[in-house]
A = this chain, B = another copy of it.
Amino acid sequence: MSLYAHSGTWPSGSYILAVTLMKSFAIGLLGFGNVNQTLVELLQRKDTDLRERYRIEWRVTGVASRRIGWQVNAAGYDVVDLLRARSSDAFASDAFARMRGQEHPTYNAWLDAAQPDVVFEATSLNVETGQPAIDHIRAVLEHGAHAITANKGPVVHAYEELRELAARRGKQFLFESTVMDGIPIFSLFRNTLPAIDVKGFKGILNSTTNVILTGMERGLSFDESLGQAQQLGIAETDASHDIDGWDAAVKVSALVNVIMGVRLPPQKVDRAGIRGLAGETVRSARNAGAPYKLICRAQRTESGVSASVRPEQIPLTDPMALVDGTSSIIQFETDIFPGLTITEENPGLYATAYGMLADFIRAIGS
């Protein structure tokens, strides 16, 4: 039994004052790419703050990825070693010999060995099925650990099931980093806007397409702008997931499922990408004072929610028109606030990892 079993009695929001005993948490990392590596860096950077303000100690007891296999160190890895171990070579070195686990373990064998209190799931997205991330999170919750993910798949394909499983196990299933890089959108509605009715939203939620459009406005063709974004590491080698609007549609689906309480798979989002736009079209729209943006929309209707992702011309008097490059924006229409808008300007390196760190503090303070 872990120490945080006592945490259910902490008053929400007053953990700063109420918590006096240091609690130690074992962390498991499922996936060890950019997101979870940056998370470890951020945990390390915020270590003093976590100890002094939140009375939280942490150690990483398990790391698993396709590349490095299933690794366990029940005593906790040395963080400097862990961050050096980004390549499989380092994991195979003497310093990491102790991490080497079984050849073909199951999730459960890894969980049993690492005994995590919380698992950060950051494997890659399968838009159509949400797998294998759904299986990961199911196993983590069944094991009795909090499950925190940066992966939208489980949110759009298994939100209700995983939420209910988490509730039954008295654990948290949290996913703040899936939309707007860790800007608190889900927890805004979950924790700070009770008893509010969301009628709809409108936003720019995919940064790759926004960067490409900004490049086209500055004189590039679609292909040139895409190439530049790929060189800068903003767009992936196969960027069609972003360009064709799938990433944005998946985010719309996640928001509709969670914040509007209506089941809407990504396939039901009326979707058009930016592939069809010529550089000249994009530039004349900007010059005419109504630039193109890939706009996400959702609106409650009598029978549910209708949602779309498509390039729209936005007048310069609308704050959406000012959101360039990697910035993003969302405007909610609610029964209380006709317009409540959140903008993220030029997200920093730690933005996505921060969403997971914040979920961690929320989960163990709950």
Chain A residues close to B by CB (< 8 Å): 8-14, 17-18, 46, 49-50, 53-54, 167, 170, 172, 182-184, 187-188, 190-196, 316-319, 322, 327, 331, 336-348, 350-351, 354, 357-358, 361-362, 365-366
Alpha-carbon gap, A366 to B196, bound state (A) = 19
Q: Which 9 A-B pairs have the closest CB atoms?
A: A12-B12, A339-B345, A184-B192, A341-B343, A187-B192, A194-B361, A11-B366, A191-B191, A336-B354
Of the listed residues A53, A54, A319, A327, the one surrounded by the most CB atoms of chain B closer than 10 A to its CB is A319
Residues of B within 8 A of A50 (CB): 195
Residues of B within 8 A of A192 (CB): 184, 187-188, 191-192, 358, 362
Alpha-carbon gap, A196 to B193, bound state (A) = 20
Of the listed residues A14, A172, A336, A337, the one surrounded by the most CB atoms of chain B closer than 10 A to its CB is A336
Query: Given A13-B12, A167-B14, A319–B336 Cβ distance below 8 Å?
Result: no
Residues of B within 8 A of A188 (CB): 184, 188, 192
Majority DSSP secondary structure for residues of A touching B: mixed
Residue of B nearest to A12 (CB): B12
Cross-chain contact A337 with B183 (CB below 8 angstroms): yes
Cross-chain contact B365 with A12 (CB below 8 angstroms): yes
18 additional contacts, CB 8 Å, given A337-B351, A340-B344? A8-B11, A12-B366, A13-B172, A14-B366, A46-B195, A54-B194, A184-B193, A194-B361, A194-B362, A195-B361, A196-B354, A322-B322, A337-B344, A338-B346, A339-B343, A340-B345, A341-B343, A342-B342
